[in-house]
Amino acid sequence: MKLILVRHAKAVAREVDMELLRHGKITGMDLDIDDSLRELTEEGINEFMESINSIRNLLIHLKNPIIWSSSLVRADQTARIIGEALGIKDISYFKFLATGDFNDFKNELLSQAKDSTIIAVGHQPYLSDWASSLLKEDMEFKKGQIVSIKLEVENLEDGVLEWIKTPNKQIKYYEIPTIKEDAFSNGLKEVAAYYVQRILIMRENFIKNPEDTLAAHQFRVSIRSLRSIISFIKVYFDIGKYEEYQDILRKMAQKFLYIRQFDVIIGEWEDVLEENQEYLCNRNVLHQLLKHERFKEEKVVYEWITNEDISTVLFQILSWIRAFDDGLDPEDVEAYFEKRLNKNINKVNRGIDSVDYNQLKEVHALRIQCKKVRYILENLENTKKNIKLAKKYKALQDDLGLICDTMVNKSFLDKLVLNNKIDGLEYEVGIFIGYGIKQASNVVTRLQITT
């Protein structure tokens, strides 16, 4: 069962500000306002609508969603905003959401189906008290805050905090689903759903702030993680549909290729400037040009991402993944997955011994294999072995990435110099490339010694 606790959005204050009343900013209420009749402010409505819409794609595909609410006006208005966003018309009203009776709340939860999603809109201090009891940790609810908790009906007070969404802030994840040995297929589907939702959230974050380097990066990483999961069980898919969906995901990730390349180079060049202020304090030609080119690419990507309906195809892919094990023995699927993972790990280990670090194609191919292994390991159950292996292949991926980036950046920046005749640009690019070559050389030496 999933429980989503929601504190009502900002409402009119209990004590009306006479100055606001005098200037017409508060209308239609008495000075001795009944607490149960307090309405949401315009600011509260707008903030909460923006907040709920930013995670709408996270919520609309939850199983069996039901909205509960306190009957107080401000809670009812908040519940109706949620219902409108999710296409849910029916709202059930419970006294315990206004009075804070925890036992009545728990009894009602126990009467629901195990696969239900309960969205409960209530008030402070009860929400904090309930969350603290369910999670065994203190939690403060801000107005309009949404908290997702995973519950086991057999033991309601052993909940797991999944994520928190506060108005005007990005969603914060606390529990990322993993593929567990005792529920392999379901875990794999949950992880796939997580990445689909993550892609859509990063899309919204980029639209809201195209300069957000993290959103651009995580959009690509989430797609790659999803593609890795699909590739490990491709034997169970129709090959035509598999190739079609992998191609769609690959092209989505490629849309952010140049933005990511600009962000990486800008970040590395800023590091170089920071470390060598004495010699490069007035060298800003390359930085300004990279920022300018990034802005141009940003507009291209923004136009694509605001006009492309990627959510429809992503949920088509998710439905396709969720049906992959129909009619299959879960133990056979798990055994195949483990065999495939070990095969890929062995492939990476052999590649380390034979790769030619001067050949971009070879290094890049090995890096891709590393990523696949790492992404899978990171989504398996958090055993010491899996954590240790994930860290190992993440470090190797980073090393191979630095070698690849050095070669790719040289070609990229050489073209930039060729197309932009700006005084001082070639000099700064030369410093940057030289810096990268030195770092890459050190990494290659270390890898050759350790392997």
Q: End-to-end distance of the chain based on CA atoms, in angstroms?
A: 48
- 283 and 428 in contact (C-beta within 8 Å)? yes
**Per-residue pLDDT, 278:** 78
Q: ∠ CA(339), CA(341), CA(344), 5° rounding?
A: 110
Least confident of 24-33, 63-72, 229-238, 395-404: 24-33
Please tell me the distance from the alpha carbon of residue 44 to that of residue 149, in angstroms, as a whole number: 24
Q: Per-residue pLDDT for 275 more than 90?
A: no
What predicted TM-score, i.e. pTM, was given to this entire model? 0.70
Tokens encoding 217? 């990066």
67: enclosing H helix or E strand: strand 65-69
| pLDDT band at residue 30 using 50, 70 and 90 as cut-offs | very low
Q: Crossing angle for the helix pair 184-208 and 330-354, nearest 10 degrees?
A: 60
Backbone angles phi and psi of 156, in degrees to 5: -60, -30
Domain 183-450 fold? CHAD domain (1.40.20)
3, β-bridge pairs: 118, 149
CB atoms within 10 A of CB 434: 12
Contact present, 65 and 31 (Cβ < 8 Å): no
pLDDT reading at 367 higher than 70: yes
Q: Which structure tokens are listed for 277?
A: 């202020």
Burial-class residue 376 by CB neighbours within 10 Å (0-12, 13-18, 19+). Answer: buried
Mean pLDDT (the chain) is 87
Q: Which CATH class is domain 2-175?
A: alpha beta
Cβ-contact 4, 117 below 8 angstroms: yes
Q: Do domains 2-175 and 183-450 have the same CATH topology?
A: no
Quick one: pLDDT at residue 79?
A: 96
What's at 327, amino acid-wise?
G
Whether residue 397 has pLDDT greater than 80: yes
Spatial distance between the Cα atoms of 429 and 438, rounded to a whole number of angstroms: 14
In the prediction, which pLDDT does 23 show?
46
pLDDT at position 413:
94
Structural domain boundaries of the chain? 2-175, 183-450
Q: What's the Cα-to-Cα distance from 253 to each of 107, 122, 216, 247, rounded to whole Å?
A: 46, 40, 9, 10
Percent residues over pLDDT 70 in the chain? 94
Asked whether residue 15 carries a pLDDT value surpassing 70, the answer given is no
